[in-house]
Amino acid sequence: MKNVVVFGGAHIDRRGRIAGATTLGASNPGHWFEEAGGGGFNAARGLARLGCAVSMVAPRGGDAQGETVSRAAEAAGVVDRSFTFLDRRTPSYTAILEADGNLIVALADMDLYALFSPRRLRQRALRDLVDAADLVLVDANLPSDTLHHALRMAKQAGAATAAIAISPAKVGKLAAAFAHLDTLFLNEAEATTIGGEKSVTAEGWPAILRKAGIAAGVVTRGGRAAVAFRGDLVATVRPPDIDALADVTGAGDALAAGFLAAFLGGADLGSCLQAGVAAAAVTVRSPLAVAEDLSPERLAQELRLVSPAEILSSQAHHSSAEKDAP
C-alpha cells in the first residue's frame, strides 16, 4: 500500500442548488446541502477509497463544523493529522449551483488557512510523515511559503509531488514552488491565469504551461477532452457521456485522485489520465463531492466507458522519466 500525505484544505462545503431556471438578481427556489470538502481533502478521501494509505494535515476551528470534517476523514479511512484552533471557525466554501449542477458563483471564507505557516512543517511528527511518503499532495488553499516548504521537503525526502490549483485566484501561490512540483492539476480558467493565454484545444495547453515553468500537468475542460503532459509526452482523454449529472463539485479533485492512484500503481501517463477521467465520471453521478461508491472495483467498471487515451507525442514514451513523477 502506497503512503500519501496531503497538506491542504479540509473544510465545510455549502451548496445551494436552484430548483428551476436561474434568475439573476432575484430570489430563486432551491435547497441547501452541506458536507465536508476542500480540494486536498476531497482528493485525500478519493485516494483512500482507491486503496492508498492517506494522512491529511490541515488547520480547522474548534467548532461543530470541524467535528464534521473529522468524522468525514474517519468514514473515508483517512488518518486525520490536522490541528485545531479552538477560538476560530472552520473554513467554509459556499456555492450556488444551477439546476443542472453547474456552478454560478461561490464564496470562500478561508482566512484560517493563512495560519498554517512553514513553522508547522518543522514538527518532528510531520517530518516523519513526509519521510515515509511515496507522494505528497498539496492544494493552493495554503500560504505560498508553506506550499513551497512542503514541496521542497517532499522532494528532499524522495517523494513524488503533486498539487491542486483550487481556483484562478489561488493558483499563483504555487508559482514559486514549480521547481519542486512534479504534476499540477488545474482547469482551463486556472491554466489561463498561470499561462497568460488560453488554448482553444486540449493539445495547445502543454506548450503554454511549459512556458510558464510547469514541467508536467493535467488540464480539465469540463465535458471536453482532458489533457495530461510530461516531458514531450502528451495524452488526451475524452470523458464519457453522463446521462444524469448530479453535481460537478469535487470532479477535478476526483480526477486528481484517480490519476495519482494509477500512477502509484505504476501506470503510464495515458492510463493515469483514463483513471482520472473515470474517477471524475463516478463523482459527477453522485450528489456528494466524494462518491461513496468510489472504489477500485467501481473505477474498473467506469473505465470500460472511457475512451482510450490518444497519445499526441510519443518521443518520451519509453523514457525512464515517465516513471519518476506522477
Q: Residue 239: pLDDT band by 50, 70, 90 thresholds?
A: very high
Proportion of the chain above pLDDT 70, given as a percent: 94
Q: Quick one: average pLDDT of 263-270?
A: 97
Q: Quick one: average pLDDT of 303-321?
A: 68
Neighbours of 203 (CB within 10 A): 16
Check if the beta carbon of residue 182 is closer than 8 Å to that of residue 159.
no
pLDDT recorded at residue 255 = 97
Encode pLDDT of 159-197 as tens digits: 999 999 999 999 999 999 999 999 999 999 999 999 999
Neighbours of 243 (CB within 10 A): 6
254 has pLDDT over 60: yes
Q: Considering only CA atoms, which of 129, 141, 138, 143 is closest in space to residue 161?
A: 138
Q: Residue 313: pLDDT band by 50, 70, 90 thresholds?
A: low
Q: Residue 324: pLDDT band by 50, 70, 90 thresholds?
A: very low
- The pTM (predicted TM-score) of the whole model is 0.90
Q: Which H/E stretch holds residue 279?
A: helix 269-284
C-alpha to C-alpha distances, 245 to 73, 118, 208, 222, 232, nearest whole angstrom:
25, 40, 31, 12, 34
Encode pLDDT of 67-94 as tens digits: 999 999 999 999 999 999 999 999 998 9
| Pairing assessment for the beta strands 233-237 and 83-85 based on DSSP bridges | unpaired
pLDDT recorded at residue 274 = 98
**Cα(67)–Cα(125) distance, integer angstroms:** 22
Q: What rounded mean pLDDT belongs to the chain?
A: 92
Q: Residue 246: pLDDT band by 50, 70, 90 thresholds?
A: low
State phi, psi for 221 to the nearest 5 degrees.
-140, 45
Lowest mean pLDDT among 46-50, 161-165, 310-314: 310-314
Residue at 58: amino acid letter = A
Check if the beta carbon of residue 100 is closer than 8 Å to that of residue 21.
no
* Burial track 221-240 (b if 16+ CB lie within 10 A, e otherwise): beeebbbbbbbebbbbbbbb
What residues does 163 pair with on adjacent strands? 138, 184
